[in-house]
Amino acid sequence: MARVMMAGCSKRYRTFVQALAVGVVSLWAANAAGARTLADHHVTHPHHGPPGRGRPLVVVDPGHGGKDPGCIGLRGTREKDVVLATGLAVRHRIEAGHRYRVAMTRTGDEFIALRQRVVFAQQHHAALFISLHANHARNHLVHGASIYRFAYRASDLSSARLAERENGAGLLPGPRFGRMPPAVADILSSLMRRETWLHSSVLQASMVRYLASRTTLLPDPDRHAHFAVLRAPDIPSVLIELGFLSNPGDERQLRRAAHRAGLARAIVDAIDAYFRTVRGQRAVRG
């Protein structure tokens, strides 16, 4: 579904975006006593780092940490520990592949606010943001992984409740447009946000495909909700719930290093598939 959407509406939409953005910026420049190009205002496309940085940067975000343990499993497994261990496994696999750079929002047991996590990714010009979590439910029979992208309206009630549980207070920063007037910046931010959400859908579809080969997924695993940590309008982002610590089988699996390594392999395979899709679309557009 996401691939079809990218191939169809994305091409027409990008053409519209480019034309509108050029028109808006040109109008502003003509009224500003001295034309400036878009680059003069340090606008970074959501899928490119700054010039000269080379390989795309993937930011891996293990949720919770420090004073915030996240959910607790039936055997006392803490969410903050299993997601950190999985994040480190993802980092190791990315580094071994030499195709991308990788950074982590935390590499130890420390608390980091949601805003700081997103600011970290934006300041480092991340190409992708992948947040790792583990789930919990009152019904101990519920099990399986799921993958979320940002949306103002949740795909279902359980997704809405999950986002409410995970979220913290405070608005997150948008892309910076230098000295552009607020009205122009708002238009460009809206266009960038739309483009980023399309790419987040492609990344989500890739994650569903590859994680399904390594672990059990929830029914309808591609979900969306108002997660604060996914709100950056300039970075394609997903949040992966690796399983339910409230389920004995999922908890047992997430405690196993071999299982976490398999999840890491699937996540990196999905990243590869995402970049192949995006680069293929660029090649078609010429």
What is the pLDDT, as a whole number, of residue 255?
A: 98
What is the pLDDT, as a whole number, of residue 38?
A: 26
3-state secondary structure (DSSP) of residue 217: strand
If pLDDT is split at 50, 70 and 90, which confidence band does 159 have?
A: very low
What is the pLDDT, as a whole number, of residue 269?
A: 98
Check whether 77 has a pLDDT greater than 70: yes
If pLDDT is split at 50, 70 and 90, which confidence band does 52 have?
A: very low
What is the pLDDT, as a whole number, of residue 83?
A: 98
Sorted by where each starts, the structural domains of the chain and their CATH numbers stand as: 2-285 (3.40.630.40)
Of 125-134, 175-184, 266-275, where does mean pLDDT reach its minimum?
175-184
Mean pLDDT on 23-35: 43
What is the pLDDT, as a whole number, of residue 231?
A: 81
Q: What are the residues facing 131 on neighbouring strands?
A: 61, 239
If pLDDT is split at 50, 70 and 90, which confidence band does 23 have?
A: low
Of 60-64, 110-114, 196-200, 237-241, where does mean pLDDT reach its minimum?
196-200
Identify which has the larger pLDDT, 148 or 4: 148
Percent of the chain with pLDDT over 70: 64
163: amino acid identity, one letter:
A
End-to-end Cα spacing for the chain: 23
Mean pLDDT on 11-37: 45
Mean pLDDT on 21-34: 46
Q: pLDDT tens digit string along 93-151? A: 999 999 999 999 999 999 999 889 999 999 999 999 999 999 999 999 999 999 999 86
What is the pLDDT, as a whole number, of residue 227?
A: 78
Mean pLDDT on 170-199: 63
**CA–CA separation, 65 and 271 (whole Å):** 25
If pLDDT is split at 50, 70 and 90, which confidence band does 280 have?
A: confident
Mean pLDDT on 151-174: 50
Check whether 65 has a pLDDT greater than 60: yes
Identify which has the larger pLDDT, 2 or 238: 238
Q: In what order do the strands lie in the sheet with 237-244?
A: 101-104, 57-62, 128-135, 237-244, 145-150, 217-225
Number of residues in the chain? 286
Please state the pTM of the whole predicted model: 0.74
Is residue 128 within 8 A of residue 235, CB to CB? The reply is yes
Percent of the chain with pLDDT over 90: 56
Identify which has the larger pLDDT, 7 or 79: 79
Average pLDDT of every residue of the chain: 78
Q: What are the residues facing 68 on neighbouring strands?
A: 65
What is the pLDDT, as a whole number, of residue 67?
A: 95
